[in-house]
Amino acid sequence: MILVEMPAHLRQLAKVTGTIHLDVVGLATQTSVLDALEARYPMLRGTIRDHVTKRRRPFIRFFACEEDLSHNSPEDPLPDAVAEGREPFWIVGAIAGGLRDDIPVPYGSSPARDKSRLHAARPSSNARPDR
């Protein structure tokens, strides 16, 4: 049994509350957990990772056991505590700022873009999963 925590927006979209309990077949990895999550909640497809490439969306982060796993290979085994259901796998919305492609701007009303202002998403040591 894998425990998954999601941001409020995704919980509302999936019409769930609290921690999600997932049965994951085989090795617990980011890929296998997300496959199981999307199989149960198809409306989440495309919101956490790209439909086709399966790459994590830029402003989504994965945490577990107080570590940022976002840049690990999606096929790496998750920590034992996650695989054994003692710690949750956190899907977190990054704290992000600045003006860049991924930040929507009201069309027709934004200032001209200045590439010097394009900031990368901040890997959020400060990100606080909202419960």
Partner 1 sequence: MVGTKKGAFILTSDAKREVWDVAGPHFAGWEMYHLKGSPVDPNRIYASQSSGWFGQLIQRSDDGGKTWNPVDNQFVYDGETGTHQWYDGTPYPREFKRVWHLEPSLTDTDTVSAGVEDAALFRSTDGGKSWHELSGLRRHGTSNLWQPGAGGMGLHTIVLDPGNPDRIYIAISAAGAFRSDDAGETWILIKKGLRSQYIPNPEAEVGHCVHRIALHPARPDVLYMQKHWDVMRTNDRGDLWYEVSGNLPTDFGFVIDGHAHEPETIYVVPIKSDSEHFPIDGQLKVYRSKTGGNHWEALTNGLPQENCFVNVLRDAMCVDQCTPCGVYFGMTGGQVYASSDSGDNWTAMVRDLPAVLSVEVQTIP
Select from 115, 116, 126, 128 the one that contacts partner 1 (CB under 8 A): 115
Distance between CA atoms of residues 21 and 40, nearest Å: 11
Contact letters for partner 1, residues 12-51 (x by CB under 8 A): -x-----------------------------x-xxxx--x
Least distance (Å) from partner 1 to the CB of residue 85? 26
> Binding of partner 1 at residue 52 (CB under 8 A)?
yes
Instruction: Specify the long-range contacts of residues 48-52, CB closer than 8 Å, at least 24 apart.
Output: 48/10, 48/91
Q: How far is the C-alpha of 75 from the C-alpha of 48, rounded, in Å?
A: 16
Return the exposure string of 50-88: e unless at least 16 CB atoms fall within 10 Å of the residue's CB, then b: eeeeeebeeebbbbbeeebbbeeebeeebbeebbeeebb
One symbol per residue from 87 to 106: x for binding partner 1 (CB under 8 A), - otherwise; what is it? ------xx-x----xxxxxx
> Which CB sits closer to partner 1, 60 or 64?
60
Binding residues for partner 1, rule: CB under 8 A, are: 7, 9-10, 13, 43, 45-48, 51-52, 57, 59-60, 93-94, 96, 101-113, 115
